Amino acid sequence: MFASSEATEVVAALSSGWFLEHAWLIPIIPVIGFALIILFGKRMPMKGSEIGVLSMLGSLVLSAGAASQWITRVNGAAEEQFITPVVRVWNWWQVGGIKFTIGQSIDGLSIIVLVVVAFISTLVQIYSLEYLRGDRRYTHFFAALTLFSAGMLAMVVAEDMILFLLGWEIMGLCSFMLIGHWWEEGANSRAALKAFFTVRTGDIGLLVGISILYFASNEWTTKELGVSGFSIRGISAWAMAGQPNSTVILVAAVALFIAAIGKSGQFPLHTWLPDAMAGPTPVSSLLHSSTMVVAGVFLVSRLYPVFFTGFHILGSGSNFITIIGGITIVIAAALAFVQNDIKKVLAYSTVSQLGYMMMGLGAGAWMPSVFHIFTHAFFKACLFLCAGSISHSASHHSFDMKKDMGGLRKFMPITFTTWIISTLALCGVFPFSGFFSKDEIIDNVGHNGYNTFMIIGLIGAFMTAAYMTRATYLTFFGAPRGAAAGEHHDAHDSHAVAHDTHASAHDEHDAHASSGPHESGLLITVPLMILATLALGSGLLNAAPFGEGWERITKWVEPRHSEFVPELHHAPFMWSKAGMSLAIVFAGLAISWFICVALYTRKDKRLVGLTQRNAVLRSGYRLLDNKYYLDALYENVIVKAISGPIAAGAYWFNQHILDGILHAVAGTSRTVAGWVYRNIDQRVVDGAVNNSGKATRGAGGVLQPVQSGKVSQYGALLFSAAAVAALVLVIINT
């Protein structure tokens, strides 16, 4: 499985193929596309957007080719044979005894994520052609979006933690640029900064974890495997070989998981993710479905042997990963109930679904969690793009469900249908894709002995169905309100400004929108239909209820029969368990629907204002509305506790040290200047000038009598002068 990294290598017991051996080109193409957009984009006919679309199409073609060859490779292997990854490694640079390599490692996990990222990125780029038309920074948007996808792709193909870190940080930088795309508005700038600093907080854990793993594993991996301690393959093998000190690998696993918490919006660092909705909707779709927020889950999946050993997964009833994942599922789902912004409902839904993935990984349900990455990407991307379609064509750039939506199913049949399909997939309704992945997570969590977390998963399923029913009712049912009813408010009100401020650039679209809500154009609806189709059918690629013959993703993706990967167990599918899960989901759908009809349509007095009349409910609502006061804690306590003393110390240093130095220098300069003024300027310079004046004046006074004006006197002086001169000559010549 392992070979020397001294030169380019291909590690493959089976035939691979050109696409697999050259998978490193997949992130290179969008990197080149980014450079071309920056250099020449504004001079292109479509302002550089065509380069972005073509570069992502190129990556998609290469990803599809690699996937096809990988499937052929797996299908051609014996049932018990371990499928080695396709690896190519180059020396990057060397400092002393530390060798830094760069290269690719392609296996089933890499393939499934590459295909998802390239596919979703391509659709989002096409969608953005219409959605961002006329934007003030159209070219720069496509440049940042293309580099954003390149960062994720680089991280996925990375054989080495150095390249992994590079792709990880590229995404962090691009997310800052994309969330703050309309940075002129304060809310957008604050959201971008909040995302950047929150994620940076977690990223410290990644740096610490990589450092610990390198110094702990390098000697063993170099001696036994001939690879660097930065090699992901080497680290995984070291973790499973019984070599690590339990404390060392535990600390490394905790540090790495802190990075995953920040990147994937897990509690308590999830607060940046809903605020990231300030960016353009295509950014929200890409960020929440298949790129940045999935990066943390991918980190845990890729280095799973480290977490498996460090946290003793399958050896206890709970661990750090399952606890954080379980908490995230519930607290995020609860927050979705009090949101009026449709994108923020979806944002908290993403946080909750990421909690499912993390909980599954923490409980040994590796394959269901990875499969949920796959299915979640399609239905969540579709839901966000549906929200963008509504904003673009029906709600006059507003995302407020209560204020500017309602009854839109009649005006937007395609958007409505794709939304419903994706919502049912998200809720886990059979036979939509979410059922085959999320239900498998819940089932396997219980099968592996984590019964408490299985219950949490079922509670989360009920809550998901309930809050998505509320969002669906407010958006597509009931009476049209605000912009959906043809009313127009200022496109620059506080709500619109906080979100899609590109409204001011869409004069032509605004004029067209004056006729009222309508369906979006093909550049928007075609991606919706493609994603909805996959949200409906992608679950069949791993349909456990229909037998092992349908579990294709498990066969293609899950490592098997190797001492270097954990031995994973799968819960046998039982319709009785699935039926219980479906009953809970349908209960959530039905209860939420009846409450929505009574509250929003019939205006039942028993429900309207209930949270204000009841003290307990009022307190609960305030807790949720203020997001558990975590932002207040971070900004007013933690940040101030750090920034306050730093600011006070800086002020003291400025007043007592810097100002003291300046005052001392100024005092010394003043003293020296006074001495120079008194002794040099006044006495020497001015004295010399004054004395020369006095001498001239004295000489003038002495000669004044001579200037009498009498000719006889002048003649006498002349004669006297001639006599004196003659006398001098006689004396000299004697």
Query: Is pLDDT larger for residue 674 or for residue 706?
Result: 674
**Sequence-distant contacts of 504-508: CB under 8 A, at least 24 apart:** 505/134, 505/135, 505/136, 506/133, 506/134, 506/397, 507/134, 508/134
- Distance CA(268)–CA(181), nearest Å, equals 26
Nearest by Cα to 234 from 105, 321, 114: 105
Mean pLDDT, rounded, of the chain: 86
Using the predicted structure, report yes or no on whether residue 245 has a pLDDT greater than 90.
no
Domain locations along the chain: 311-487+516-619, 630-687+710-733
- pLDDT value of position 166: 94
Give the torsion sign (CA, 266, 269, 273, 279). Answer: negative
Distances (CA, A) of 710 to 18, 651, 713, 719: 121, 83, 5, 14
- Distance CA(379)–CA(388), nearest Å, equals 14
Q: 223-227, 241-245, 316-320, 512-516 — which is least confidently predicted?
A: 512-516
Using the predicted structure, report yes or no on whether residue 180 has a pLDDT greater than 50.
yes
Using the predicted structure, report yes or no on whether residue 224 has a pLDDT greater than 90.
no
Read off the tokens for 498: 């906080």
Q: Residues 32-59: what's their mean pLDDT?
A: 94
Residue 595, number of CB atoms within 10 A of its CB: 16
Task: With beta carbons less than 8 A apart as the criterion, state whether 472 and 423 touch.
Answer: yes
For the chain, how big is the Rg over CA atoms in Å? 37
Q: Phi and psi at residue 104, in whole multiples of 5°?
A: -120, 150
Q: How far apart are the first and last CA of the chain?
A: 123
How would residue 4 be classed by pLDDT, with cut points 50, 70 and 90? very low
Burial of 723 (0-12, 13-18, 19+ CB in 10 A): exposed
Angle at 123 between CA 119 and CA 129, to 5 degrees: 150
- Distance CA(442)–CA(446), nearest Å, equals 6
Element (H, E) at 165: helix 161-179
Under DSSP, is residue 100 helix (H, G, I), strand (E, B) or coil?
strand
* pLDDT tens digits for range 254-287: 999 999 999 999 999 999 988 888 888 888 888 8
Using the predicted structure, report yes or no on whether residue 8 has a pLDDT greater than 70.
no
Using the predicted structure, report yes or no on whether residue 304 has a pLDDT greater than 90.
yes
- pLDDT value of position 705: 64
Q: 86-100, 319-333, 353-367 — which is least confidently predicted?
A: 86-100
Give the torsion sign (CA, 467, 468, 471, 472). Answer: negative
Distances (CA, A) of 49 to 38, 119, 292, 388, 515: 11, 17, 22, 19, 29
Residue showing tokens 């004396």: 731
Q: Residues 617-622: what's their mean pLDDT?
A: 90
Burial of 297 (0-12, 13-18, 19+ CB in 10 A): buried
Task: With beta carbons less than 8 A apart as the criterion, state whether 195 and 179 touch.
Answer: yes
* pLDDT tens digits for range 402-435: 998 999 999 999 999 999 999 999 999 999 999 9
Under DSSP, is residue 10 helix (H, G, I), strand (E, B) or coil?
coil
Using the predicted structure, report yes or no on whether residue 536 has a pLDDT greater than 90.
yes
